[in-house]
C-alpha cells in the first residue's frame, strides 16, 4: 500500500499530462481495479482536505499581505 502511495505521489509531481484522479492516463489503464479504487479514495481525501483548508490558507494569505504592507510602510 505504501509503495502505491509513493508511486502515486511521484506521478502527481511529474509534468502536466492528462490525468485520471491525478494519475497519467497511460498509467491509469495499467492499474488493477483495486489500485484504481485506492487512487480514487486518496484523490477524494486530498480534495476534501484541500477544501477544509481553504479558509485557513486564505487567512494566512491575508495575514501575510498585511504584514508585508506594514513592513513596507515602516
Rounded to whole angstroms, the Cα distance separating 2 from 14 reads 19
Tally of domains within the chain: 1
Host domain of residue 28: 2-73
Per residue in 17-27, pLDDT (tens digit) is 788 998 999 99
Per residue in 1-47, pLDDT (tens digit) is 677 777 777 666 665 678 899 899 999 999 999 999 999 999 999 99
| pTM reported for the whole predicted model | 0.58
Rounded to whole angstroms, the Cα distance separating 1 from 34 reads 11
H helix or E strand, kind and range, residue 1:
none
Amino acid at each position: 500500500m505504501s509503495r502505491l502511495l509513493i508511486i502515486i505521489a511521484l506521478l502527481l509531481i511529474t509534468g502536466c499530462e492528462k490525468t485520471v484522479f491525478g494519475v497519467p492516463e497511460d498509467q491509469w489503464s495499467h492499474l488493477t481495479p483495486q489500485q484504481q479504487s485506492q487512487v480514487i479514495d486518496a484523490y477524494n481525501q486530498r480534495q476534501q482536505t484541500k477544501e477544509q483548508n481553504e479558509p485557513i490558507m486564505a487567512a494566512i494569505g491575508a495575514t501575510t499581505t498585511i504584514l508585508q504592507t506594514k513592513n513596507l510602510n515602516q
